Amino acid sequence: MSEWIYFFDLCGTAVFALSGALAAGRHRMDPFGVIVLASVTAVGGGSIRDALLGTTPVFWIRDPNYIIVILITVLLTMLLVRKPKKVPQHTLPIADALGLALFTVIGAEKALSLELGGMIAVVMGLITGVGGGIIRDLLCRQIPMILRTEIYATASILGGICYSLSIHLGAVDKQALVLAIIVALAIRLAAIKWHLSLPAFDLKTNKQ
Protein backbone atom coordinates (compact mmCIF):
# COMPACT_ATOMS: atom_id res chain seq x y z
CA MET A 1 0.00 0.00 0.00
CA SER A 2 1.40 3.40 -1.03
CA GLU A 3 1.85 6.19 1.49
CA TRP A 4 -0.94 8.22 -0.12
CA ILE A 5 -3.44 5.38 0.07
CA TYR A 6 -2.45 4.58 3.64
CA PHE A 7 -2.85 8.24 4.59
CA PHE A 8 -6.33 8.44 3.05
CA ASP A 9 -7.27 5.14 4.73
CA LEU A 10 -6.36 6.55 8.15
CA CYS A 11 -8.23 9.77 7.35
CA GLY A 12 -11.30 7.77 6.39
CA THR A 13 -11.01 5.81 9.62
CA ALA A 14 -10.94 9.03 11.64
CA VAL A 15 -13.87 10.54 9.75
CA PHE A 16 -16.07 7.47 10.12
CA ALA A 17 -15.06 7.13 13.78
CA LEU A 18 -16.22 10.75 14.24
CA SER A 19 -19.47 9.88 12.48
CA GLY A 20 -20.03 6.93 14.80
CA ALA A 21 -19.11 8.91 17.91
CA LEU A 22 -21.52 11.73 17.03
CA ALA A 23 -24.30 9.21 16.39
CA ALA A 24 -23.57 7.59 19.77
CA GLY A 25 -23.69 10.97 21.47
CA ARG A 26 -27.07 11.79 19.95
CA HIS A 27 -28.38 8.51 21.35
CA ARG A 28 -26.89 9.27 24.79
CA MET A 29 -24.59 6.24 24.92
CA ASP A 30 -21.98 5.75 27.62
CA PRO A 31 -18.23 5.99 26.78
CA PHE A 32 -18.00 2.26 26.03
CA GLY A 33 -20.97 2.55 23.68
CA VAL A 34 -19.31 5.49 21.94
CA ILE A 35 -16.13 3.45 21.38
CA VAL A 36 -18.07 0.47 20.08
CA LEU A 37 -20.20 2.50 17.67
CA ALA A 38 -17.23 4.54 16.44
CA SER A 39 -15.19 1.36 15.92
CA VAL A 40 -17.78 -0.60 13.95
CA THR A 41 -18.49 2.46 11.81
CA ALA A 42 -14.79 2.97 11.08
CA VAL A 43 -13.68 -0.61 10.40
CA GLY A 44 -16.91 -2.49 9.69
CA GLY A 45 -16.92 -2.07 5.91
CA GLY A 46 -13.22 -2.79 5.53
CA SER A 47 -13.51 -5.89 7.71
CA ILE A 48 -16.32 -7.28 5.53
CA ARG A 49 -14.26 -6.50 2.42
CA ASP A 50 -11.13 -8.25 3.71
CA ALA A 51 -13.16 -11.28 4.80
CA LEU A 52 -14.72 -11.56 1.33
CA LEU A 53 -11.35 -11.13 -0.39
CA GLY A 54 -9.67 -13.62 1.95
CA THR A 55 -7.03 -11.11 3.07
CA THR A 56 -7.00 -12.17 6.70
CA PRO A 57 -6.23 -11.20 9.39
CA VAL A 58 -8.23 -8.10 8.50
CA PHE A 59 -6.40 -4.79 8.12
CA TRP A 60 -6.91 -3.35 11.62
CA ILE A 61 -5.61 -6.53 13.26
CA ARG A 62 -2.44 -6.40 11.18
CA ASP A 63 -1.97 -2.67 11.80
CA PRO A 64 -2.99 -1.37 15.27
CA ASN A 65 -2.64 2.23 14.05
CA TYR A 66 -6.27 2.06 12.96
CA ILE A 67 -7.40 1.31 16.52
CA ILE A 68 -5.21 4.12 17.83
CA VAL A 69 -6.79 6.57 15.35
CA ILE A 70 -10.28 5.47 16.45
CA LEU A 71 -9.51 5.87 20.15
CA ILE A 72 -7.93 9.31 19.66
CA THR A 73 -10.92 10.43 17.57
CA VAL A 74 -13.38 9.19 20.20
CA LEU A 75 -11.46 10.87 23.01
CA LEU A 76 -11.27 14.21 21.19
CA THR A 77 -14.94 14.02 20.24
CA MET A 78 -16.05 13.38 23.82
CA LEU A 79 -13.79 16.15 25.13
CA LEU A 80 -14.56 18.81 22.54
CA VAL A 81 -18.16 18.04 21.58
CA ARG A 82 -19.96 18.34 24.89
CA LYS A 83 -23.49 18.40 23.48
CA PRO A 84 -23.73 16.25 20.33
CA LYS A 85 -27.43 17.07 19.89
CA LYS A 86 -26.48 20.74 19.42
CA VAL A 87 -23.92 19.99 16.71
CA PRO A 88 -25.08 21.52 13.38
CA GLN A 89 -27.54 19.22 11.66
CA HIS A 90 -25.41 18.62 8.58
CA THR A 91 -22.21 17.75 10.47
CA LEU A 92 -22.95 14.03 10.67
CA PRO A 93 -24.10 13.65 7.02
CA ILE A 94 -21.08 15.61 5.76
CA ALA A 95 -18.65 13.54 7.86
CA ASP A 96 -20.37 10.41 6.60
CA ALA A 97 -20.12 11.64 3.00
CA LEU A 98 -16.38 12.24 3.34
CA GLY A 99 -15.87 8.81 4.89
CA LEU A 100 -17.96 7.24 2.13
CA ALA A 101 -15.82 8.85 -0.58
CA LEU A 102 -12.51 7.94 1.07
CA PHE A 103 -13.41 4.33 1.84
CA THR A 104 -15.00 3.74 -1.57
CA VAL A 105 -11.70 4.44 -3.28
CA ILE A 106 -9.72 2.47 -0.69
CA GLY A 107 -11.92 -0.57 -1.23
CA ALA A 108 -11.66 -0.34 -5.01
CA GLU A 109 -7.89 0.04 -4.79
CA LYS A 110 -7.62 -3.03 -2.56
CA ALA A 111 -9.46 -5.16 -5.12
CA LEU A 112 -7.40 -3.87 -8.04
CA SER A 113 -4.18 -4.48 -6.10
CA LEU A 114 -5.22 -8.14 -5.92
CA GLU A 115 -5.59 -8.11 -9.74
CA LEU A 116 -9.36 -8.48 -9.62
CA GLY A 117 -11.60 -7.01 -12.31
CA GLY A 118 -13.11 -3.55 -12.40
CA MET A 119 -16.61 -4.76 -11.52
CA ILE A 120 -15.35 -6.48 -8.38
CA ALA A 121 -13.38 -3.34 -7.52
CA VAL A 122 -16.57 -1.26 -7.69
CA VAL A 123 -18.42 -3.78 -5.49
CA MET A 124 -15.60 -3.87 -2.93
CA GLY A 125 -15.53 -0.07 -2.92
CA LEU A 126 -19.25 -0.01 -2.23
CA ILE A 127 -18.97 -2.56 0.60
CA THR A 128 -16.06 -0.68 2.16
CA GLY A 129 -17.86 2.65 1.86
CA VAL A 130 -21.29 1.69 3.18
CA GLY A 131 -20.63 -1.33 5.41
CA GLY A 132 -19.70 0.56 8.56
CA GLY A 133 -22.58 3.00 8.16
CA ILE A 134 -25.05 0.13 7.83
CA ILE A 135 -23.85 -1.42 11.09
CA ARG A 136 -23.95 1.99 12.81
CA ASP A 137 -27.51 2.71 11.69
CA LEU A 138 -28.75 -0.75 12.63
CA LEU A 139 -27.25 -0.45 16.13
CA CYS A 140 -28.98 2.93 16.43
CA ARG A 141 -32.24 1.33 15.26
CA GLN A 142 -32.44 3.44 12.12
CA ILE A 143 -33.03 2.48 8.51
CA PRO A 144 -29.56 2.41 6.88
CA MET A 145 -29.02 5.24 4.42
CA ILE A 146 -28.22 2.76 1.65
CA LEU A 147 -31.82 1.49 1.90
CA ARG A 148 -33.40 4.94 1.68
CA THR A 149 -34.21 6.78 -1.52
CA GLU A 150 -31.51 9.43 -1.06
CA ILE A 151 -28.44 9.21 -3.28
CA TYR A 152 -25.86 7.35 -1.19
CA ALA A 153 -24.85 4.02 -2.70
CA THR A 154 -25.00 5.67 -6.13
CA ALA A 155 -22.26 8.12 -5.11
CA SER A 156 -20.09 5.23 -3.96
CA ILE A 157 -20.67 3.22 -7.13
CA LEU A 158 -19.83 6.16 -9.39
CA GLY A 159 -16.71 6.92 -7.33
CA GLY A 160 -15.58 3.30 -7.67
CA ILE A 161 -16.22 3.33 -11.42
CA CYS A 162 -14.26 6.58 -11.74
CA TYR A 163 -11.26 5.14 -9.89
CA SER A 164 -11.27 1.80 -11.72
CA LEU A 165 -11.68 3.47 -15.11
CA SER A 166 -8.93 6.01 -14.38
CA ILE A 167 -6.50 3.23 -13.45
CA HIS A 168 -7.51 1.24 -16.54
CA LEU A 169 -6.79 4.29 -18.72
CA GLY A 170 -3.32 4.62 -17.21
CA ALA A 171 -3.77 7.42 -14.68
CA VAL A 172 -1.27 7.74 -11.85
CA ASP A 173 -2.52 6.19 -8.59
CA LYS A 174 -2.54 9.52 -6.73
CA GLN A 175 -4.42 11.32 -9.50
CA ALA A 176 -7.01 8.54 -9.83
CA LEU A 177 -7.42 8.48 -6.06
CA VAL A 178 -8.06 12.22 -5.71
CA LEU A 179 -10.34 12.37 -8.76
CA ALA A 180 -12.53 9.49 -7.57
CA ILE A 181 -12.78 10.92 -4.06
CA ILE A 182 -13.88 14.28 -5.47
CA VAL A 183 -16.49 12.63 -7.72
CA ALA A 184 -18.03 10.51 -4.95
CA LEU A 185 -17.92 13.35 -2.42
CA ALA A 186 -19.39 15.92 -4.83
CA ILE A 187 -22.30 13.65 -5.74
CA ARG A 188 -23.09 12.86 -2.12
CA LEU A 189 -22.81 16.49 -0.97
CA ALA A 190 -25.00 17.62 -3.85
CA ALA A 191 -27.61 15.08 -2.78
CA ILE A 192 -27.47 16.41 0.78
CA LYS A 193 -27.68 20.08 -0.24
CA TRP A 194 -30.46 19.78 -2.81
CA HIS A 195 -32.22 16.75 -1.28
CA LEU A 196 -31.67 14.66 -4.39
CA SER A 197 -33.05 11.15 -4.31
CA LEU A 198 -33.79 8.20 -6.53
CA PRO A 199 -37.41 7.33 -7.34
CA ALA A 200 -38.92 4.99 -4.77
CA PHE A 201 -40.21 1.56 -5.70
CA ASP A 202 -43.86 1.81 -4.72
CA LEU A 203 -45.66 -1.49 -5.11
CA LYS A 204 -49.37 -0.82 -5.04
CA THR A 205 -51.72 -3.66 -4.29
CA ASN A 206 -55.40 -3.89 -5.06
CA LYS A 207 -57.57 -3.32 -2.04
CA GLN A 208 -60.14 -6.01 -1.40
Residue 133's Cβ-side half-sphere holds a number of Cα atoms within 13 Å equal to 30
Assess whether pLDDT exceeds 60 at residue 171: yes
Q: pLDDT tens-digit profile of 2-38?
A: 888 999 999 999 999 999 999 999 999 999 999 999 9
Assess whether pLDDT exceeds 90 at residue 204: no
Residues in CB range of 129: below 8 A, 6 or more apart: 45, 99, 100, 101, 103, 104, 107, 156, 159, 184
Q: pLDDT tens-digit profile of 124-153?
A: 999 999 999 999 999 999 989 888 878 999
Three-class secondary structure of residue 39 per DSSP? helix
Separation CA 85–CA 27 (nearest Å):
9
Separation CA 84–CA 115 (nearest Å):
43
Q: pLDDT tens-digit profile of 35-93?
A: 999 999 999 999 999 999 999 999 999 999 999 999 999 999 999 887 777 778 888 89
Separation CA 42–CA 18 (nearest Å):
9
Separation CA 144–CA 131 (nearest Å):
10
Q: pLDDT tens-digit profile of 84-95?
A: 777 788 888 999
Question: Which whole number is the average pLDDT over 97-107?
Answer: 96
Percent of the chain with pLDDT over 70: 96
